[in-house]
């Protein structure tokens, strides 16, 4: 099938879908989907992030939302065919949104359909021809210039004028969301306890850099320049985020810690107590967004003997860097990304690190990940083929989570084969490897919150050659100068680093609001995939991320740079609609699940 035939097949299918929807026949629309089928909607139909699975699920979704939310004016904008699958881009409108999507057809029936909200129909972003003038001339001139207005805004906002949205957490997630809300004209304030924007990155251990490539990591609206390094060093990232807050004119309070929050359901407002540079202040936003990273409160194990151990003990999030441990024995409890980075940092600074592996770990070389998995979407080659990061985000999002394992298994099987010598070296050193419960590799482990992973940028060779010592087992107790394992092995230690991960993001809600609210919301992340640390039931989407929760006006935002960038768009549109007083009936509000 050539491209012209692919266009014709896509147009024929969308004509049939438009006819069924136009006549109000949800059953007929569902019959246009194949036996295995998925309709993933990102806010445009459901005011939610929801994947309808199977013809019955698709019919139920259409019948469960208002007719005005059904897509219309369906127009194919591009189509290709490969391996018997027609892939076509399309645009659409409904009462609330103009949208974009991607369909995959097999044997004339729909296999996967993505629909995404792009712009509110009545409130488009002020970009392009709708941009502001930025200055007044003639009779419209005022005594204030841009700097005067900006200075006044910074002095008054949060004091004389309350934010509509309060974002707690000023890392890439909170900053990116605030930029989207600023563009939408939604009054939003970011509060962060660090002295400057970007200090979340600057304060981490000395050798830290991003493990994801630059093409995957852009911020909203302002992509990195084309000379930017492939892997961004932490301080460079911190500088970028600080400048980003200024360039995007964000309302950002540094040195501000959110202390407590409570929700007045009758008033539809939060009362949030903060300490701004040590002074107490009460904010009253309508919506509260916890953008405190991709995880929750640090997991610090309680181990007998911690009170008698003579050396330093730190969680990986507060590791001060390897230089202070030169010539010392350091036991790092854990074997995932942070553990590898910290062990490499210790070795580079002349310390003697021992990595304690408690369970199997998935390792993938960064170069292999880039070439085999990310490369088709996020790379110089992809850009040359006309796939920028925003297009890549939509392609990535168009693969339903249920389908993702089968898409990734061949890629990670190929990596396993091409890097066989690399993996053999790790196995020979005693490192316990895995490729996910089902062989689907990195991304599903990340989403499922299962056993750990490391994107290798060099530490694995240090494990393989013994530069980083390796031990196995669980910690039984600490003595004054050693870590003792359950099998009796003693590991000499002048310091211990707990690279033991983090709890669920709802732990921040428990700290800031109450345990009752955290329990009502349930865990964040995880798909209900019945794999390690991600028990069922199946959700179809990530729990509680970027969408309405069981606590009114409480939202969770986070993830890596790619997720924060892409999904901030849909969260911002949901908040903008509420700011403008639009009706936002949520379809399939998530159930509360307490295990993840």
Q: In angstroms, rounded to a whole number, what is the distance separating the alpha carbons of residues 45 and 62? A: 9
pLDDT at 594 over 70: no
Q: What's the mean per-residue pLDDT of the chain?
A: 93
Residue 448: per-residue pLDDT: 64
> Mean pLDDT throughout 504-508?
87
Beta bridge partners of 560: none
Q: In angstroms, rounded to a whole number, what is the distance separating the alpha carbons of residues 523 and 506? A: 6
> Mean pLDDT throughout 453-465?
93
Dihedral sign, CA of 588, 589, 593, 596? Answer: positive
Domains of the chain in sequence order: 3-120 (3.10.450.50), 150-296+505-579 (3.50.50.60), 312-368+397-498 (3.50.50.60)
Q: Dump pLDDT digits (tens) for 246-275.
A: 999 999 999 999 999 999 999 999 999 999
> Model confidence at 421, in pLDDT bands (50, 70, 90)?
very high
Residue 295: per-residue pLDDT: 63
Residue 203: per-residue pLDDT: 85
142 close to 123: Cβ distance less than 8 angstroms:
no
pLDDT at 180 over 90: yes
């590898």: which residue's tokens? 340
pLDDT at 450 over 60: no
> Model confidence at 449, in pLDDT bands (50, 70, 90)?
low
Q: Does pTM surpass 0.85?
A: yes
Residue 216: per-residue pLDDT: 95
Nearest in space to 403 (alpha carbons), one of 114, 146, 202: 114
pLDDT at 533 over 80: no
Residue 113: per-residue pLDDT: 98
Q: What is the CA radius of gyration of the chain?
A: 25
Q: Is the peptide bond before 537 cis (omega within 30 degrees of 0)?
A: yes
> Mean pLDDT throughout 192-196?
95
> Model confidence at 596, in pLDDT bands (50, 70, 90)?
very low
> Mean pLDDT throughout 96-122?
98
Residue 144: per-residue pLDDT: 87
Q: In angstroms, rounded to a whole number, what is the distance separating the alpha carbons of residues 316 and 475? A: 17
> Mean pLDDT throughout 54-68?
98
Dihedral sign, CA of 475, 476, 477, 478? Answer: negative
Q: Dump pLDDT digits (tens) for 280-309.
A: 999 999 999 999 876 668 889 999 999 999
pLDDT at 444 over 80: no
> Model confidence at 425, in pLDDT bands (50, 70, 90)?
very high
> Model confidence at 128, in pLDDT bands (50, 70, 90)?
confident
| DSSP H helical ranges for 398-456 | 404-418, 420-428, 442-448
Q: Dump pLDDT digits (tens) for 66-77.
A: 999 999 999 999
Angle at 460 between CA 454 and CA 466, to 5 degrees: 140
């Amino acid at each position: 099938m050539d491209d012209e035939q692919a266009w014709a097949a896509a147009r024929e299918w969308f004509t049939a879908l438009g006819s069924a929807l136009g006549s109000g026949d949800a059953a007929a629309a569902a019959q246009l989907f194949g036996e295995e089928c998925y309709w993933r909607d990102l806010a445009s139909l459901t005011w939610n992030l929801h994947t309808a699975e199977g013809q019955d699920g698709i019919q139920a979704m259409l019948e469960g939302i208002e007719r005005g939310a059904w897509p219309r004016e369906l127009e194919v904008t591009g189509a290709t065919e490969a391996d018997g699958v027609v892939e076509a881009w399309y645009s659409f409108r409904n009462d609330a949104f103009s949208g974009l999507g991607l369909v995959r057809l097999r044997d004339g029936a729909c296999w996967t359909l993505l629909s995404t909200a792009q712009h509110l129909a009545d409130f488009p972003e002020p970009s392009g021809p709708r941009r502001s003038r930025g200055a007044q001339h003639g009779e419209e001139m005022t005594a204030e210039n841009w700097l005067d207005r900006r200075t006044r805004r910074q002095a008054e906002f949060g004091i004389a004028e309350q934010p509509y949205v309060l974002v707690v957490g000023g890392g890439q997630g909170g900053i990116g969301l605030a930029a989207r809300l600023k563009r939408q004209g939604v009054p939003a304030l970011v509060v962060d306890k660090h002295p400057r924007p970007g200090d979340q990155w600057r304060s981490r251990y000395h050798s830290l850099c991003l493990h994801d490539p630059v093409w995957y990591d852009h911020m909203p609206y302002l992509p990195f320049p084309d000379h930017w390094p492939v892997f961004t060093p932490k301080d460079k990232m911190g500088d970028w985020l600080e400048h980003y807050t200024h360039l995007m004119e964000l309302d950002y309070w540094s040195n501000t810690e959110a202390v407590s929050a409570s929700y007045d359901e009758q008033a539809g407002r939060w009362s949030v107590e903060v300490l701004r540079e040590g002074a107490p202040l009460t904010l009253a936003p309508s919506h509260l967004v916890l953008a405190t990273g991709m995880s929750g409160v640090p997991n610090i194990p309680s181990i007998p003997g911690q009170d008698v151990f003579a050396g330093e003990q730190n969680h990986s999030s507060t590791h001060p860097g390897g230089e202070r441990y030169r010539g010392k024995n350091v036991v790092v409890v854990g074997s995932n990304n942070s553990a590898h980075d910290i062990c490499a940092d210790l070795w580079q600074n002349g310390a003697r690190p021992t990595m304690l592996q408690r369970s199997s770990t998935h390792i993938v070389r960064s170069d292999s990940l880039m070439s085999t998995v990310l490369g088709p979407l996020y790379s110089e080659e992809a850009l040359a083929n006309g796939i920028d990061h925003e297009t890549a985000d939509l392609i990535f999002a168009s693969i339903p989570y249920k389908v993702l394992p089968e898409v990734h298994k061949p890629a990670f099987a190929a990596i396993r084969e091409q890097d066989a010598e690399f993996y053999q070296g790790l196995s020979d050193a005693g490192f316990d490897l895995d490729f996910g419960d089902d062989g689907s590799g990195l991304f599903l482990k990340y989403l499922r919150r299962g056993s750990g992973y490391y994107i290798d940028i060099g530490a694995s060779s240090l494990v393989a050659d013994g530069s980083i010592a390796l031990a196995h087992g669980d910690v039984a107790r600490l003595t004054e100068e050693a870590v003792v394992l359950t099998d009796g092995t003693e590991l000499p230690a002048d310091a211990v680093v707990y690279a033991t991960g983090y709890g669920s993001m709802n732990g921040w809600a428990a700290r800031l609001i109450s345990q009752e609210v955290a329990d009502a919301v349930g865990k964040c992340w995880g798909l209900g995939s019945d794999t390690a640390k991600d028990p069922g039931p199946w959700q179809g989407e990530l729990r509680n991320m970027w969408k309405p929760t069981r606590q009114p006006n409480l939202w969770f935002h986070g993830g890596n740079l790619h997720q924060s960038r892409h999904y901030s768009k849909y969260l911002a549109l949901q908040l903008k609609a509420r700011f403008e007083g639009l009706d936002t009936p949520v379809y399939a509000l998530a159930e509360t699940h307490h295990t993840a």
